[in-house]
Structure formats: structure tokens, C-alpha cells
Amino acid sequence: MVTIVGGGISGTVLAGALAAGGHSAILYERQPAARGGQFLVLDDRAHRALAELGVSVNELHSVSHALTGLRVAHSADRVRDNPREGYRLYFRIDLMRVLSEFASATAAQLHYDTAITSVDPATGALRTGAVEIPCDGPIVGADGPDSIVRQCVDPDRRPEYAGQVVIYGTTSRPVRLDSAPHVLHFQGQRGDDAIPDSTFGHFWNDDVSVWFTRLTIPPLPIEDLGVRPVDLWAEQIRRAAPSIGELVETMVTATDSVHVINARNVPLAAARPPSERIVLCGDADHAITPAAGVGARDAIEDARAIVQAITSGASLSKAVSARRSEILAERDRVERAYQRVR
């Protein structure tokens, strides 16, 4: 029996894929199923991994919006257009609904509204409050940046503020803009550091219009996070990209509320080696600021690596270690490429 703590993207698809392959899997998630949140983009690699894990490509396409490219402009004379194939934009609640239905159609045991409060690294026993849950197989911590599993097995690795507050907005009705449709646009103001002072991104087609702002400001207290009225942030959002002020105004005016988060990282380089009994997956192991745009893909590819190890009888700890090396090497390549562009 594989025990999975956390029912987000990676935990849910992991449970479903294992059970579909004939392996017993039980999942514990502290929140209800198919919960909401902001939107995200999955690339062609993420979609290939999901298809390999058994998720229906048709179902994924039915709840998402195709992207034809990325357009990045940090100044009037530095604009980069990057055509993209296989990229799609999702509302998290729609993606989670597809993944939850995939897992629910298998023999996986899914326990929502069940918060795991501790893990004993020596015995592998879980606790939910005062109740002990014995485990006779591997445990996978897929419980996000504030992972209880990671706190128990690697307590020195804590989430770190990544330097930006991110604000997500969805218009109450689709709006048509002068920018190219089906393209994810980024307009930023450069500062003195590697992180832009602010970035405004948007995407639109005939069915949906979404946008986000990243602001390089101190982290917000918890009471200011989550769903908030757009009016509380309207002025700062308008200042984020003054060169496209009319477009920003159109999006903000058509939006009622926004989702506000502190962007955070979970440092990976100094992680303790995984064991065969307890491993980490996705954001629980290596959360990265949304600016990188690959957190969901990394989590899905983690799940695929874990499924491959378990189904083939290979070492689980070696599979997770290999994934960590791949992620660190790719981040290093991206950072060196970014420095060359700057």
C-alpha cells in the first residue's frame, strides 16, 4: 500500500495512476476535493506525462485553453515572441476536477477533509490529531510548500519568500483587447535586481480573459492573502505596467475580485537524501515561485517518476534523487540563459 499525503495535482494523479496500474494507494487530503484557486499553464512536457499516467487528453483539452505563444516585453525595444505548441491554460479547479475524476474511477482510496498532523520518520506511522494511522508501505509527501511530511523528515528546509506578491484576476466577462489573442503576454518594468520591479501578464480569447500582476514588495500578512476585492489593489496594479495602461485598466475594471499570494520557494539544493520509506513530491520538495512557470509540470513529472519506480520495482529513493538532480540542472541552465539575455 502506497500512502499519499496531499491531494493536489501531483498527489491526485499519483494515486490514480498507481491504482490504475494495480497498486494499492490511499490518499489523505485536508481540504475538500476539486478545490479552487488561481489559473496555471501546463506545457507539452506536462501533458505528455499526464497522458503516460493515464489521464485523458480529451478531458484535459475540454477544460483548458490553447496557447499559441508567449510574448515578453520588459522595454519597448526588447520584445521576445516565443511560439509554443502544446501549451494550455487551466483554471486550477477545472484541472483538479479532471484529475479527481480520473483517480475516483480507480480503486484508489481517497480521504478528503482528513488532515495528517504528523509523520514518524522511524516507523512511518501517520497521525491525524490523536488517531494513529499505521502504514505498511512507502509514504509520499505531496502536501505542498507547508508540507507536514517535510517538516518531519527534513525540518531544516522551510518555505522562503521569493520576493514578490502575485495577484491573479479573471474578468467577470470575456473582454476583447488590442493584443494578440491566444498568447500569454508579459509586460514588465525592470529594476536594479534580477527580479523585475513589477510584471503584468494577460491572456484572452473569445471565452475567457485572465491576468496577473507580480509586485516586488515585502511579504503580506496572512490576513491579506486569498480572495480580496480588486479595489484594494487597483492602484498598485495600474502602476505595474504603465506602458499598457489602457489594457490594464480594461482588465481591472472588468474584474470583481482577485486572488493574492506570497510567492515562495522551498530550497532544494541542501535537501536530505530521501529514504525508501518516505519521499517528497512536487511543491512539498521543491516549490518555486510562479515566475518560473514550471512548478505544476515538475510536480507531474515527479509523480510519473514515482509511478515508474513503484511499478518496475526500482528504488524509490534513487528515482526521487534523480528527479532532484534533473530539476537542479534545468534550473541552472535556465538561470545561465537568463543572465545571458540580461
pLDDT in tens, 19-55: 999 999 999 999 987 566 789 999 999 999 999 999 9
pLDDT at 78: 63
C-alpha cell at 259: 486572488
Average confidence (pLDDT) over 59-73: 94
User: How distant, in Å, are the alpha carbons of 1, 13, 95, 258, 317 from that of 108?
Assistant: 10, 10, 19, 35, 23
pLDDT at 335: 72
pLDDT at 105: 98
The rounded mean pLDDT for the chain is 92
pLDDT at 84: 80
pLDDT at 286: 96
Q: What is the pLDDT of residues 227-240, one digit of tens each?
A: 999 999 999 999 98
Q: What is the pLDDT of residues 177-217, one digit of tens each?
A: 999 999 999 987 766 555 668 899 999 999 999 999 999 99
pLDDT at 76: 52
Average confidence (pLDDT) over 248-258: 96
b/e string for 42-76 if b means 16 or more Cβ within 10 A? Answer: bbeebbebbeebbbeeeebeeebbebeebbbbbee
Q: Residue 10 — pLDDT band, cuts 50, 70, 90? A: very high
pLDDT at 191: 60
pLDDT at 293: 80
pLDDT at 77: 53
- Asked if residue 336 has pLDDT above 80, the reply is no
> pTM for this structure?
0.93
Q: Give the amino acid at 286.
A: H
The more confidently predicted of residues 339 and 290 is 290
Helix (H, G, I), strand (E, B) or coil at 291: helix
- Asked if residue 321 has pLDDT above 90, the reply is yes
User: How distant, in Å, are the alpha carbons of 4, 11, 38, 180 from that of 306?
Assistant: 11, 11, 27, 39
Q: What is the pLDDT of residues 103-115, one digit of tens each?
A: 999 999 999 999 9
pLDDT at 23: 97
pLDDT at 136: 87
pLDDT at 48: 97
Q: Give the amino acid at 299.
A: A
